[in-house]
Structure 1
């Protein structure tokens, strides 16, 4: 049962069984061919003996006689393996010489077409032995005697079977040797193929639990290379996943430490004071800190979710980008109105792109939130769609060209004014653009003078 569940057992099953069947078929056909060849050779000898006897037929005084000399009889007796019998029958059906009880010619025995003679070959039994009989018709037309005399020469089958058995033994030895060599070579080949896999297994068993380095290319066979490549790619994805988890944990611990410390301080201040006004101010500060902490946590989770999707299949659908931008503008209208900011949306025509509607909405929301947050009061923020390109520009301070790449990194705070925020809005936008295959560009707005963010979709 263990052998049948191994590769060696499968090989023996799928290779050994057909080979054994072919071996049996080959031996059987060899034996039949050998027996046919023996019959042809010995039938020719029987026909020669029958012709020798037929040549001794003579007519004397209008009587058919046969004179089989002792030389012919002696040649019959020289065969040490077989016994030979003969019988000569006149046209009238009388036995002229030989063994009168030999099996007669069957009615349905066909004439042999292998020899230029009127001869029949048939099998029979005589004296409890199988025999082969050659029945030769000999025409007689002398001194008033006319007709067809029948000469029967029979032989036991020992020599034929011995000849066929000899060829069968030769076939058995050669074919068995061929099957054995084939199975041995297949076993050696399988052992050679499995040797690199065993080395690879030993390497995997000796590996440390946290080691995720690629496997060495120990398998030389091109058919097994895709297995190593696929496993190494899986290890690469696993390394990326663990790296993202470690980065997320580090980011969370780093970014949440400050607001939690501030919250702890505010609670201590409130507990150490008996002034209700101080309690109220502390509670308002705690509410502000908690709001910032909740926003930071949401952004961290969104950033981790976007990074975790890299390498996965993208279930994109065709979405209306103009509707998503318009909805983001409506959501940011209250904040813009509070700062008396002129928030506008320009759309030439309906823009449809392949993407994730929720992620694209988050992209627009982050860009508009940053634009409204860093634009001074009574400023201007404009969202514009041109073809497959989204532009959001403002009249704020903008970002210098030397700091644009730094602004796309998580937790980068370039604004010295101390605006509230997590510092990962543009980093989240960058990851969403990469997820959609879009190109992100930061530059100075030529109309408003502030920052212009351009997202070009494929």
Structure 2
């Protein structure tokens, strides 16, 4: 058994979808035409049989108290020599004796009902005579003359060649007419489907010949309005893919550039240590390498966080759960107290103790950590960093305020982009990923960061608003 399943052809499926019902309906139509033709032929020829039986009944006479029939020679000749069929007749007296005609004609079965189409006591039935199928009309003629009373029976039979010939001619006409309609319809459907599917084949050929790196929109090669949404969806997907690829290429280029610098510095420090014979030079180089490795690890960690967040946002549904943002922010402040003490920075928290929002705990922790790290990193010694969480009605806002150099209003948008560094940070250096990661985390939670100037401390005030859980 093959491991793959061959794709089904849309062309042949549509052709079968149209052709099969058409063939079935054509067959039903031909059958009904033949059935109607047989009924019409039977009705017409039965009327002729009845007329012949009545003609014979009119020739019944009573002579010498005996029932006789006087059938002229011309009528007998017509019975003997019809154009296509052989005719037979028989006359039976009320006593049940055959007085004229073919005495061995099949008698009428007992279950044959009287015909309701004619005002006469006539019965029609099918039988076989002399090895040939026949149609028999049995007419009962009352007789009450010269002492003869009773019901005479006249049987007129006919072979079925003329009936069948007429039915065959009507069947042939139905076959020709219906067959022409079916063949013409299938031919038109074949041509139409070929024409309709030609643009799809053209589009498939364009896609197969397209270079893997080409992300330009597809041309509108499908002329039907029903297929325009499909092309529009393709082009929108291609545009999203183009933006994603461009973003990844930019991110990869920037990341490789950012990693190249500390690795070059690290290599230089190793070279200096290897070239020196003094232990104090080794120690100085090792301390420099430790600082360089710390910054490289931090940069790599931020890059991985940013990459995971973008992938998680693209490929997974948001798994938001109730999170106490106040607890998350307080824990982040406590964990950074040693860092604040090392620079003698006054790190404080103020605001509510409980604030429930819909979010992802790890990402909100990373958000608070990045904001506090940036504030502590760029705030000079003996400065102030304040973390604040306030609530009002259905909204809560998180604020990180510092006494550092701040960010001018013309640079607030650029500061949120990856690898962007400001010129007013003094001796501090970084990868420029902290605020970019903050931007992506807030976007994941349906909000955005606001970069403002602190009115009290003079530095940067970062504010993020969250919708509260009710």
TM-score range, shorter chain: over 0.9
* 1:12 CA displacement: 4.3
* 1:296 CA displacement: 1.5
* 1:368 CA displacement: 0.8
Question: For 1:121, which of 121, 124, 129 is the aligned residue?
Answer: 124
1:236 aligns with 2:244: no
1:444 aligns with 2:468: no
SS across alignment from 1:457: strand
- 1:245 equivalent in structure 2: 248
1:419 aligns with 2:431: no
1:361 aligns with 2:369: no
1:404 aligns with 2:407: no
Question: For 2:396, which of 377, 388, 391 is the aligned residue?
Answer: 388
SS across alignment from 2:315: coil
Structure 1 contact 23–179 (Cα < 8 Å) conserved? yes
Cα pair distance change 1:351/1:188, threshold 3 Å? farther
Report the more deviating stretch, 65-74 or 156-165. 65-74
In structure 1, distance between residues paired with 2:453 and 2:109: 116
In structure 2, distance between residues paired with 1:4 and 1:78: 67
In structure 1, distance between residues paired with 2:95 and 2:369: 124
Q: Deviations over 1:344-392 (max 9, x none)?
A: 2334363333333222211111001111222233333222222332111
In structure 1, distance between residues paired with 2:86 and 2:253: 104
SS across alignment from 1:169: helix
1:195 aligns with 2:204: no
- 1:300 equivalent in structure 2: 303
- 2:271 equivalent in structure 1: 268
* 1:85 CA displacement: 1.0
Number of matched pairs: 457
Structure 2 contact 378–425 (Cα < 8 Å) conserved? no
Question: For 2:53, which of 22, 34, 50 is the aligned residue?
Answer: 50
* 1:3 CA displacement: 11
Question: For 1:155, which of 154, 158, 163 is the aligned residue?
Answer: 158
In structure 2, distance between residues paired with 1:233 and 1:64: 101
Cα pair distance change 1:201/1:324, threshold 3 Å? same
Alignment of 1:243-392 (within 5 A): 243-320=246-323, 321-348=325-352, 350-385=354-389, 386=391, 387-392=395-400
In structure 1, distance between residues paired with 2:82 and 2:253: 104
Structure 1 contact 137–148 (Cα < 8 Å) conserved? yes
In structure 2, distance between residues paired with 1:143 and 1:410: 130
Q: Which runs of 5 or more residues in structure 1 are unaligned?
A: none
Structure 1 contact 88–95 (Cα < 8 Å) conserved? yes
1:456 aligns with 2:465: yes
Q: Deviations over 1:183-207 (max 9, x none)?
A: 2122112211221112112322332
* 1:77 CA displacement: 4.7
1:101 aligns with 2:109: no
Q: Which runs of 5 or more residues in structure 2 are unaligned?
A: none
Q: Deviations over 1:296-340 (max 9, x none)?
A: 222222223333445434332213122322222222222123233
- 2:9 equivalent in structure 1: 6
Structure 2 contact 405–425 (Cα < 8 Å) conserved? no
Structure 1 contact 244–304 (Cα < 8 Å) conserved? no
Cα pair distance change 1:314/1:105, threshold 3 Å? closer
Cα pair distance change 1:388/1:318, threshold 3 Å? farther
Structure 2 contact 326–352 (Cα < 8 Å) conserved? no
Alignment of 1:59-74 (within 5 A): 59-74=62-77
* 1:75 CA displacement: 4.2
Structure 1 contact 318–352 (Cα < 8 Å) conserved? no
TM-score of the pair, normalised by structure 1: 0.93
Cα pair distance change 1:98/1:303, threshold 3 Å? same
Question: For 2:211, which of 197, 208, 211 is the aligned residue?
Answer: 208
Cα pair distance change 1:178/1:354, threshold 3 Å? farther
TM-score of the pair, normalised by structure 2: 0.90
In structure 2, distance between residues paired with 1:112 and 1:4: 61
Report the more deviating stretch, 299-308 or 179-188. 299-308
Q: Deviations over 1:220-251 (max 9, x none)?
A: 23444444344334433432332233112211
Cα pair distance change 1:221/1:353, threshold 3 Å? farther
Q: Which runs of 4+ in 1 moved over 6 A?
A: none
Q: Deviations over 1:97-154 (max 9, x none)?
A: 2111111122221111111110000111112111111000111111221110111111
Cα pair distance change 1:350/1:116, threshold 3 Å? farther
Report the more deviating stretch, 246-255 or 167-176. 246-255
* 1:455 CA displacement: 0.9
* 1:8 CA displacement: 3.3
